[in-house]
């Protein structure tokens, strides 16, 4: 039988304080005297209380999540992008919300709407096509956005991409510098 997670109200009752005092201990401890704060911390530990990130998001107007919208997470190229994004998000105390659009424009747009509704702090998007209009909702709502695997003009936003042409040139130049030469077939 699953046990319901402790709520902030449970902590307040156990510590004999108000919900706002518990909130202050967790978010603005300098506002609470040391003895009261200690009682609250003991109740938090005893109840194994974990603050609800949604409640914090309502208070601050932001969440602690970053959206990652990919066309197909099963594609190894995109899964490597996901790995890098997940590692960076974790290192900075954010969660990564993985959105696999399944190569469907309407599903991609649905994820953009969800990220706006969930007040994501940002989004990394590997867009399906070159049509930037689908990204408008994120930009209009002030969600910072980085396009991956697409180059866009700096005036239109931030993007990260690989220059495959330059990469090909560098690779061939390296082979030539290492002594690769044409062979004749006689």
**Domain range for 16:** 8-51
Domain with 35 in it: what CATH number? 1.10.260
The b/e string for 149-159 (b: 16+ C-beta within 10 A; e otherwise) is: beeeeeeeeeb
Q: If we measure between CA atoms, which residue out of 15, 35, 19, 39 comes closest to residue 27? A: 19
Q: What is the pLDDT of residue 80?
A: 92
Is the pTM value of this prediction over 0.85?
no
Q: What is the pLDDT of residue 64?
A: 85
Same domain as 104, residue 14: no
Same domain as 124, residue 75: yes
Q: If we measure between CA atoms, which residue out of 128, 65, 69, 56 comes closest to residue 96? A: 65
Same domain as 68, residue 43: no
Q: If we measure between CA atoms, which residue out of 87, 85, 82 comes closest to residue 70? A: 82
Same domain as 82, residue 27: no
Domain with 150 in it: what CATH number? 3.40.50.2300
Output 7-14 pairs: Cβ under 8 A, ≥24 positions apart. Answer: 7/49, 7/52, 8/49, 8/51, 8/52, 8/55, 10/47, 10/49, 11/40, 11/43, 11/44, 11/47, 11/49, 14/43, 14/46, 14/47
Helix/strand/coil (H/E/C) assignment for every residue in 98-141: EEECCCCHHHHHHHHHHHHHCCCCEEEECCCCCCHHHHHHHHHC
Q: Is residue 34 part of a domain?
A: yes
If one counts the domains in the chain, the total is 2
Q: Residues 6 or more apart from 94 whose CB is under 8 A from it?
A: 64, 65, 66, 121
- Distance between CA 19 and CA 181 in Å, rounded? 76
- Distance between CA 142 and CA 61 in Å, rounded? 12
Same domain as 156, residue 115: yes
Q: What is the pLDDT of residue 135?
A: 77
Q: Is residue 157 part of a domain?
A: yes
Q: What is the pLDDT of residue 2?
A: 62
Residue carrying the six token digits 């930037």: 132
Q: What is the pLDDT of residue 56?
A: 60
186 residues of the chain, pLDDT tens digit each: 667 888 999 999 999 999 999 999 988 889 999 999 999 999 999 999 988 766 665 565 557 899 999 999 999 999 999 999 999 999 998 999 999 999 888 898 899 888 888 888 899 998 876 566 777 777 888 888 888 887 777 777 788 888 878 888 999 998 999 988 877 665
Q: What is the pLDDT of residue 60?
A: 59
């Amino acid at each position: 039988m699953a046990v319901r997670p402790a709520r902030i109200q449970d902590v307040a009752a156990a510590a004999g304080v108000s919900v706002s005092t518990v909130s202050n201990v967790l978010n603005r401890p300098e506002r609470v005297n040391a003895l009261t704060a200690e009682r609250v911390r003991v109740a938090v530990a005893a109840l194994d209380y974990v603050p609800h990130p949604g409640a914090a998001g309502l208070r601050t107007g932001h969440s602690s999540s970053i959206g990652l919208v990919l066309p197909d997470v099963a594609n190894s190229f995109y899964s490597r992008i996901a790995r890098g994004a997940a590692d960076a998000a974790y290192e900075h105390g954010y969660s990564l919300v993985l959105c696999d659009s399944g190569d469907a424009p309407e599903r991609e747009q649905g994820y953009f709407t969800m990220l706006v509704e969930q007040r994501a702090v940002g989004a990394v998007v590997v867009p399906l096509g070159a049509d930037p209009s689908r990204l408008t909702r994120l930009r209009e709502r002030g969600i910072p956005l980085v396009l991956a695997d697409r180059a866009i003009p700096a005036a239109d936003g931030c993007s990260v991409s690989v220059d495959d042409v330059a990469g090909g040139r560098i690779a061939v130049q390296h082979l030539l510098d290492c002594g690769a030469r044409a062979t004749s077939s006689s």
